[in-house]
């Protein structure tokens, strides 16, 4: 009987000694699993409002025209291959009411956002595609030019929740337009704005 009691006591002590280790191991695995998902992931869509300073020049001009600052709109959507890269299509538009009509500049680009630090919101952007410059006159006439467009920029995405982010951005958009027997027109917009992003994946920082 005493031998049985001693064995049971030894088993109880042994179980008590190993239980914390097992529990700690489970807690460690839980911490790793919770910390695993990246702050960015899945499908994303970003909308932005800003103020864009537009300038233009023709080939042979000494410099760009004086800037004209007007409201801008931006829409970007795509996917997230990994926590450091977002890839998507981007639409940008700038417009101005003129005495004799409406003038606009816009781009349709393939954009890459790079996040140098995995758990931070700082990003750099590079994009290329098509640019358009248009004037619609009040009398019904219009002129439209299309050409190569590109953009570079930077910003910071402040993650408000797992799905939503908000932050400032600064971007340069530029297009080059060439017509036969006419000098090449270069138009650009320096845009400062605020962007709101929705994503289907990721976690809150």
Convert 132-160 into a string of H (helix), E (strand) and C (coil). EEEEEECCCCEEEEEEEEEEEEEEECEEC
Tokens read off for 49: 């409002």
Give me the CATH number covering residue 75. Answer: 2.40.160.20
pLDDT band at 37 (very low <50, low <70, confident <90, very high): low
Answer yes or no: is 204 within a domain: no
pLDDT per residue as tens digits for the range 172-199: 999 999 976 788 999 999 999 999 999 9
Structure confidence at residue 180 (pLDDT)? 67
pLDDT surpasses 70 at 159 = yes
State whether 51 and 96 are in the same domain: yes
Q: Is 129 helix (H, G, I), strand (E, B) or coil?
A: strand
35 pLDDT above the threshold of 50:
no
Regarding pTM above 0.85, the answer is: no
pLDDT band at 28; cut points 50, 70, 90: very low
User: Helix %, strand %, coil % for the chain, to 5?
Assistant: 15, 60, 25
Q: Which domain holds residue 133?
A: 44-199
Both 10 and 85 in one domain: the answer is no
When divided into structural domains, the chain yields a total of 2
Bigger pLDDT: 182 or 131? 131
User: What's the mean pLDDT when you consider all of the chain?
Assistant: 85
What pLDDT band is residue 138 in, cutting at 50, 70 and 90?
confident
What's the start-to-end Cα distance of the chain, in Å?
Answer: 59
| pLDDT reading at 10 higher than 70 | no
Separation of alpha carbons 193 and 69, rounded Å: 12
3-state secondary structure of 178: coil
Per-residue pLDDT band at 205 (split at 50, 70, 90): low
| 87 domain-assigned | yes
């Amino acid at each position: 009987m005493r031998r049985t009691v001693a064995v049971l006591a030894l088993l109880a002590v042994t179980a008590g000694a190993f239980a914390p280790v097992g529990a700690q191991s489970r807690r460690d695995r839980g911490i790793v699993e919770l910390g695993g998902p990246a702050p960015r992931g899945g499908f994303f869509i970003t909308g932005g409002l800003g103020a864009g300073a537009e300038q233009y020049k023709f080939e042979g001009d000494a410099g760009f025209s004086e800037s004209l600052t007007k409201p801008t709109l931006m829409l970007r959507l795509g996917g997230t291959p990994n926590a450091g890269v977002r890839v998507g299509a981007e639409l940008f538009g700038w417009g101005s009411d003129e005495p004799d009509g409406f003038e606009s500049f816009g781009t349709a680009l393939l954009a890459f956002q790079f996040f140098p630090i995995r758990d931070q919101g700082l990003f750099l952007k590079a994009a290329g595609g098509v640019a358009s410059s248009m004037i619609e006159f009040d009398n019904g006439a219009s002129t439209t030019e299309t050409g190569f467009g590109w953009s570079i920029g930077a910003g910071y995405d402040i993650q408000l929740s797992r799905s939503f982010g908000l932050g400032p951005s600064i971007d340069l958009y530029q297009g080059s337009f060439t017509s036969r027997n006419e000098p090449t027109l270069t138009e650009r917009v320096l845009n400062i704005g605020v962007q709101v992003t929705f994503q289907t994946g990721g976690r809150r920082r």
